A and B are shown apart, each in its own frame.
Chain A
Amino acid sequence: MNPADLPRDAVATTAEGLLDAVRAVARGPLAEVAEAIDRQGHYPREVLQQLGALGAMSAHLDAPAGRGDYGLALRAMAEVSRVCGATGFMVWCHAVCGLYMQASGNPALGGDALMAHATGRTLGGTAMSNPMKSYAQIESLLLKAVPVDGGYRVSGSLPWVSNLGPDHACGALAGVVDERGDVVREVMFLLRCDAPGVELRDCPSFAGMEGTGTWALRLKDHFIGADEIMADPAKPFIARIRGAFVMLQCGMALGVTQGAIDTMWAVEDQLGHVNQFLDERPAELQAELDALEARVMKLAQTPFDPSPAFFIEVLDARAHGAELSLRAAQSALLHQGARGYLMSSEVQRRVRESHFVAIVTPAIKHLRKEIARLSAEVLPA
C-alpha cells in the first residue's frame, strides 16, 4: 500500500487511522532509506511529503490545517522516530514551522501558504536554536535586523539549521538594532531559502543523521517585509509557543527510545539467557517509557498553558525523554552484543540518534539550566 495514493480523507478520518497510515510509511518506504539518511546524507523528501499528505506533520495545528491534537502529532512523530530518528527530527522541524505560521496570525502565512505547508507540498524548518538559547541566557543573538522602509534588512550567520533546501523556508528571529547597534527588541519572520540575500552553506560531516537537510545560513541585507513577519515584537510570541515547541520534541525522544527497546526484544529469543544479567532490561525500560508517554500525553492536552510550572514540567519531560533514549540505546547495544557493533547495525544508528536527542537544542544541560532559572524565587534586583 502506498498511503500517498489513498485519498487523504480515507486514512485520516480517525486518529488511529492516521497512526496506522504513518506506521505503514515508516515501516515501508522510510525503513528502506533509513540507513542512507543516516550515513549517506539522503534527504527523504518523498517520505516527508507522504507524511505531510497524511496529515502527520500538521495534526497539532488548528483546523482546517490540522486537528488541534498535540497528542496525535506527538504519537505520529514517535512512530516515525521509532524507525528513523533523523526523519522524526525533520517532522518536528516542519511541525514547529507550521506552528509559527499559524500562531503568527499573518494572513500571508495562513490560508494557502499554511495549507501547502500542512500537507507537505512545501517543506520547512526552524532556525530558532540560537534564539531559544538566547532567551535562556546561554548565548547571544546571531542575526541582526536594521529597520528600513516597509520592513527590515537582516544580516548575520546561523550554524546548523535543519530540514532546509533551496526551495524550503524556516522560522527565524533577529535582534532589531538601533542606530548605535544595540538590540532594542526582536522580530520573528519566515525566511525563504531562495530569497535574495540568503545563502545556504555546507556543514562539515556529522556523526550521524546526515540526511536532515542541515545547512549553515548566511544572510546579507536580506529584506523582510509584512508578508514574512511572524511576530514583532517577538518576545510575547515566543513566550506563548515555547511550551508547544519543546513539548513536540518529546515525540522524537519517545520514538527513538521505543526503537531501541524494539531491538532489545529482537535478540531476546537467542540472547535472553545472557541478557538477563544486564542492568536495564527491555520490560523495565518499556514501563518507564510508558509512564513518560502518559505524562507527555497529559501535558499535550494544554500545550499553551502559560504558567511557569507547566513549562518546567514540559522541560523536565523532554529531559527525561533524552536521558531515557540514551539509556535505552546504550542498553540496546549491550543486548545485541557483537552484532550491534557492526557499522551497519541499526543499533549503531540508535546510539547516534539518542546522542542527537540529548544534544540538540534544548539539550539536557540547557533544559536543566532553564529549569533551575525558572525555579529561582524572583526578588528585587
Chain B
Amino acid sequence: MNTDAPYQQYICDACGYIYDEAEGDPDGGLAAGTRYADIPDDWACPLCGVTKADFRLYRAPSREELMARSGAAPTAVVRRGGPAGVVIVGAGRAGWSMAQALRERDAALPITLVTRCAGDVYDKPLLSVAVARRLDDGALVRESGAAAAARLGVRLMARTEAVRICPDTRSLRTTRGTLRYDRLVLAHGAQACLPPALPAELCWRVNHLDAYRRLRAALGDVPRDVLIVGAGLIGCELANDLALGGHRITLLDQASHPLGRWPQQQAADPLLAAWQDLNIRFVGGAQVQQLERAGGALRLTTACGQRFAADQVIAAAGLATPPRLAQGAGLAWHNGIAVDAATLRTSDPHIHALGDCIAIDGQPSRYIEPIARQAQAIAAAVCGTAPAPYQPRAAVVRVKTTSCPLTLH
C-alpha cells in the first residue's frame, strides 16, 4: 500500500459512525493512522458494535453540495405565532385559484399551500394534447410552484402529504409537520379510479403531471400499441391525442358506444366519424377481466374471452375523491366532500372545499369552469368581503377531437 496516500473515511451503515484513518480508534486498539485495510475483522464499531464488514468508504460532501442536493434555496423566515391563517390542500387549478382569490382580497393573510406534487402551475386538460404533440413537460408548466408562491406571497409546502385533519385543535397533520389553521380549504382533487381487474403496477392513469411525465417516458418516440380502458371524455380525448401522436389505439368500454353519457347521435356517431382516418379501434361491450404481463407486452382478457395485446395500458374509468382527509375529520360525505352550494362550506364551519373533490347534493362537477367562481365564493366568506355566492350551472363540454370538435350539453 502507498503509505503516502491521503487518509480516508469509512462510515458505519448501521449507526453512521465515521471511522477516520487519520484518527484511528485508540479506545478500540487502533492507533491513529491505521488504514481501513489493516483493521482486524473482529474490531467493533465503537458506537453500535457491528463489524468492519458493515462499513463503506465515505467522502463527506460540502455544505454547498448538501444544500444543492436538498433543493434548499435561501428562504424567508417562516412566521411562527400570530394568526394561523388559511391552509390550502392541493396545488392544482383549484388550490392556486384559491390562493389568488384570497390574496386579491387580503394582502396580509397568511396562506400556506400543502401539496403532494411540486406545485407547478399547468393546465390539466392539456395533458392529453401534450401526449399527441410529444411535448416535454417544460412546455406544459406555465410557472414553477416556487415562482407562483413567491408571486402570491404563499408558503408552499411541496412534496408534502396531508395526512389528517384534527378539527378539534384546528390542525392539519402532514408528512412535514403539523400546521394550525384558522380556515382550511380542501382543493386536493379526485383520483383516477382503477377497475378491480387492473393491477395498479401494470396500468397508467394520467391525472397529473408526474404521471404524464412517466407515461411519456414509457411511450418513447416510436409508435406503440396502446389500450385504453374507458371511453368517457378522458378516455376519448386520450385516444384521439395518442392516435394523433402516431400510436395505435384500442379503446374499450362496457357500453356499446363511446361517450355513453350523451345521446349516441349527438356524441358517439360524430366522434366515430371524426376518427375515421385515425388509428383508433373502438370495442364496445367489453368487460375487463384480467390484465397480465405476457412476454415483453401486456395481455388484457375480457369477460367474453376476447384478448388484446398492448405495449401500454391506460385506465380512464372515471374519478373519485380520495376519502382519507374528509372522512378522518368526520366531514359530511355524499359521493365526495359534501359542501353547501352557495358558500362551498363543508359540515365543519372552518373547512371549505372546491374543485374536483366536492359534491353538491351528491353531484360532483369535475370541470375547469366552475373553479374560479368557487374560489371567489370561498374567498369572500373567509375575508368577510362582499358575498359572492356560487351558483352551480350545467357544464358545457367541449370534446377536443382536432378534426371535428364536439360541443355537448
User: Per-position contact with A for B152-169: 1 when CB-CB < 8 Å, else 0?
Assistant: 000000010101101011
Min CB–CB distance B84 → chain A (angstroms): 14
Q: Report the nearest A residue to B313, measured CB to CB.
A: A380
Min CB–CB distance B340 → chain A (angstroms): 26
A371-B163, A380-B201 as given contacts; A312 in contact with B50, CB under 8 Å? no
Is B50's CB under 8 angstroms from A375's CB? no
Is B324's CB under 8 angstroms from A160's CB? no
User: Per-position contact with A for B304-325: 1 when CB-CB < 8 Å, else 0?
Assistant: 0000000010000000000010
Min CB–CB distance A214 → chain B (angstroms): 11
**Interface set, chain B 38-91, CB cutoff 8 A to A:** 44-51, 53-54
Among the listed B45, B201, B312, which residue makes an inter-chain contact with A378, where contact means beta carbons less than 8 Å apart? B201
Is A323's CB under 8 angstroms from B178's CB? yes
Q: Report the nearest B residue to A316, measured CB to CB.
A: B163
A288-B169, A320-B173, A371-B161 as given contacts; A379 in contact with B45, CB under 8 Å? no
Min CB–CB distance A202 → chain B (angstroms): 8
Among the listed A203, A323, A369, A379, which residue makes an inter-chain contact with B204, where contact means beta carbons less than 8 Å apart? A379
A159-B49, A371-B175, A380-B204 as given contacts; A130 in contact with B14, CB under 8 Å? yes
Q: Which among B14, B45, B169, B312 has the highest number of chain A CB atoms within 10 Å? A: B14
Q: Report whether over half of chain A's contact residues are helix, strand or loop; otherwise say mixed.
A: mixed
A309, CB-defined interface residue at 8 Å? yes
B176, CB-defined interface residue at 8 Å? yes
Is A309's CB under 8 angstroms from B51's CB? no
Chain A residues within 8 Å of B211, by CB: 377, 379
Alpha-carbon separation in the docked complex, A201 to B229 (Å): 59
Is A158's CB under 8 angstroms from B200's CB? no
User: Per-position contact with A for B166-183: 1 when CB-CB < 8 Å, else 0?
Assistant: 101100010110100000
Is A216's CB under 8 angstroms from B49's CB? yes
B303, CB-defined interface residue at 8 Å? no
Alpha-carbon separation in the docked complex, A158 to B214 (Å): 39
Chain A residues within 8 Å of B205, by CB: 377, 379
Number of residues on chain B facing chain A (CB within 8 A): 38
Is A159's CB under 8 angstroms from B45's CB? yes
Is A204's CB under 8 angstroms from B46's CB? yes
Alpha-carbon separation in the docked complex, A209 to B215 (Å): 51
Among the listed A291, A319, A378, which residue makes an inter-chain contact with B200, where contact means beta carbons less than 8 Å apart? A378
Min CB–CB distance B152 → chain A (angstroms): 25
Q: Report whether over half of chain B's contact residues are helix, strand or loop; otherwise say mixed.
A: mixed
Is B50's CB under 8 angstroms from A157's CB? yes
Alpha-carbon separation in the docked complex, A249 to B45 (Å): 29
B191, CB-defined interface residue at 8 Å? yes
A140-B13, A201-B49, A291-B166 as given contacts; A368 in contact with B176, CB under 8 Å? yes
Alpha-carbon separation in the docked complex, A139 to B13 (Å): 8
Is A379's CB under 8 angstroms from B161's CB? no
Chain B residues within 8 Å of A316, by CB: 163-164, 173
A63, CB-defined interface residue at 8 Å? no
**Interface set, chain A 122-160, CB cutoff 8 A to B:** 130, 139-140, 142, 156-160
B116, CB-defined interface residue at 8 Å? yes
Chain B residues within 8 Å of A320, by CB: 173
Chain A residues within 8 Å of B328, by CB: 313
Min CB–CB distance B231 → chain A (angstroms): 21
Is B50's CB under 8 angstroms from A372's CB? no
Chain B residues within 8 Å of A216, by CB: 44, 48-50
Alpha-carbon separation in the docked complex, A254 to B391 (Å): 47
Chain A residues within 8 Å of B47, by CB: 159, 204
Min CB–CB distance B200 → chain A (angstroms): 4
A142-B54, A159-B15, A291-B168 as given contacts; A379 in contact with B173, CB under 8 Å? no
Chain A residues within 8 Å of B141, by CB: none
Min CB–CB distance B136 → chain A (angstroms): 18
24 residue pairs of the A-B complex, CB under 8 angstroms, read A139-B13, A139-B14, A140-B13, A142-B54, A156-B54, A157-B51, A159-B47, A159-B48, A201-B44, A201-B49, A203-B48, A217-B49, A218-B49, A288-B169, A316-B173, A323-B178, A372-B161, A377-B200, A378-B200, A379-B200, A379-B211, A379-B214, A380-B203, A380-B218
- Further contacts, 11 of them, CB under 8 A, given A204-B47, A217-B49, A368-B176: A157-B54, A159-B48, A159-B49, A160-B48, A288-B169, A320-B173, A372-B161, A377-B191, A380-B204, A380-B214, A380-B218
User: Which 6 A-B pairs rank lowest in CB-CB distance, beginning with the nearest?
Assistant: A216-B49, A159-B48, A157-B50, A378-B200, A368-B175, A201-B49
Chain B interface residues toward A at CB < 8 A: 13-15, 44-51, 53-54, 116, 159, 161, 163-164, 166, 168-169, 173, 175-176, 178, 191, 200-205, 211, 214, 218, 312, 324, 328
